[in-house]
Structure 1
Amino acid sequence: MMNFDINFQLMGYHFLQLGIAFVLSLPIALNREMKDNGAGLRTFPLVTIASCAFMLVGMDIYDAGGEARIMYAIITGMGFIGGGAIFKNEQGSKGTATAASLWNTGAIGISVAYGRYEIAIILSIVGFLILQFSDPFKAKDRPSALE
């Protein structure tokens, strides 16, 4: 017969960490949702909690070298997903802020998994502030580099 053992204390701790990761992704997710930039309230929290969960599992079953490989895979995967958010046309490119934000939320999840909440909080705040308040500084009507 199979032994099915659940550590409810550890489960509660991981639930708390995943909840923190989820909450810290919300300011960025809300900004992207309100600006209608493709990825939003579903994508950003899923990226954050999945990154956190991958690291939590990796920390539980691998040594430091295995953890590094998990982190490397998350970083690479975020680059791949972010690349899908970027669209290029005659006027230039669009979606780079969303792509970078996806990468940022992956870093939030990793930071929470390692208990580096100060880094996760800073990433959340700075990411939100950049997205929320940088629009007036973006160059509008600049000539395309393709012309």
Structure 2
Amino acid sequence: MIITEIEILLRLLLAAGLGALIGYERERHGQTAGLRTHMILAVGATLAMTLSINLALAFRPVSGGDPARLAAQVVSGIGFLGAGAILRYGTSIRGLTTATSLWTLAIVGLAVGAGQYLVGAFTTIFLLVILWLLDIVEKYLIHARMTIPLMVTGKEGMLNIDDLRSLLKHNKMEMSNLFVSKNLKKGTVTLRVMVTFSTEIPIEPLMQALSGLPGVHTYQLGEPTPQG
């Protein structure tokens, strides 16, 4: 039976509501793909599914239409949107969770479009539970760690790697990927390392300690965020 326009509108409203739940959670975590992106995605996937069903029913006597054909294209195409949500800053990668939530929400939209309301609603709630539960687990049970680049420039002969290694160890940080460069004209040396530490460790004490290293001229912790 062909889906009526009123029923399509109701399915779109439900999809928008489900998308808003996931989108709000992602936006609350500072993700660019937030409320609007998830809502639009869910609505678009739902419309694609309802259109696919109606077209298949309308043209079945002529072409033997397959409702899954358009839905499969939605699942395939969402990969491009998910890839756009993944960003890399140095060795840090952000957006993987958002990319997977976008993909899952597209499936939710297809389910709602196919009239599987309970399945779509349950999947959305289940996805929210996963996102919220993992927040709690990571905060209290797993000490999340991050790795960022550190560059220190100072006077050659005074600034040395042993002092930097001891400083990082004192601040409960691990050092790796050492790279050393020298400027013979200026008489300076630059130390580049990757620093790994728990997200619970504050950065301020490290910055103060770096300022007190013998021979230090400048230092940079992390990488500038790429602009538009």
Q: TM-score, normalized by length of structure 2? A: 0.55
Aligned to 2:95: 95
Q: Secondary structure at the match of 1:66?
A: coil
Q: Which has the higher helix share?
A: 1
Aligned CA RMSD, in angstroms, stands at: 2.4
- Equivalent pairs counted in the alignment come to 139
| Unaligned residue ranges in structure 2 (runs of 5+) | 149-175, 178-228
Identical amino acids, percent of aligned pairs? 27
Question: Which stretch has the larger CA shift, 45-54 or 83-92?
Answer: 83-92
The one-letter code sitting in structure 2 at the alignment partner of 1:101 is S
Cα distance in 2, alignment partners of residues 68 and 16 from structure 1: 21
Cα distance in 1, alignment partners of residues 131 and 117 from structure 2: 21
Q: Deviations over 1:93-145 (max 9, x none)?
A: 2100100111111111100011111210121001111222312434522569x
Is 2:7 the counterpart of 1:21? Answer: no
CA contact 2:20–2:36 (8 Å) conserved in 1: no
Aligned to 2:46: 52
**Which structure ranks higher in relative contact order (CA pairs < 8 Å, sequence separation ≥ 6)?**
1
Please tell me whether Structure 1 or Structure 2 has the larger radius of gyration of its CA atoms: 2
Runs of 4+ off more than 6 Å: none
Provide closer, same or farther for how the CA distance between residues 72 and 37 of structure 1 changes in structure 2, counting only shifts above 3 A.
same
Q: TM-score, normalized by length of structure 1? A: 0.83
Question: Which stretch has the larger CA shift, 125-134 or 41-50?
Answer: 125-134
Matches within 5 A, 1:98-137: 98-137=98-137
| Unaligned residue ranges in structure 1 (runs of 5+) | 1-8
Question: Which stretch has the larger CA shift, 71-80 or 59-68?
Answer: 59-68
Q: Deviations over 1:5-47 (max 9, x none)?
A: xxxx922111111111111122111111211111111100100
Is 2:45 the counterpart of 1:41? Answer: no
Q: Which has the higher strand share?
A: 2
- What's the offset of the Cα at 1:85? 0.5
Is 2:74 the counterpart of 1:80? Answer: no
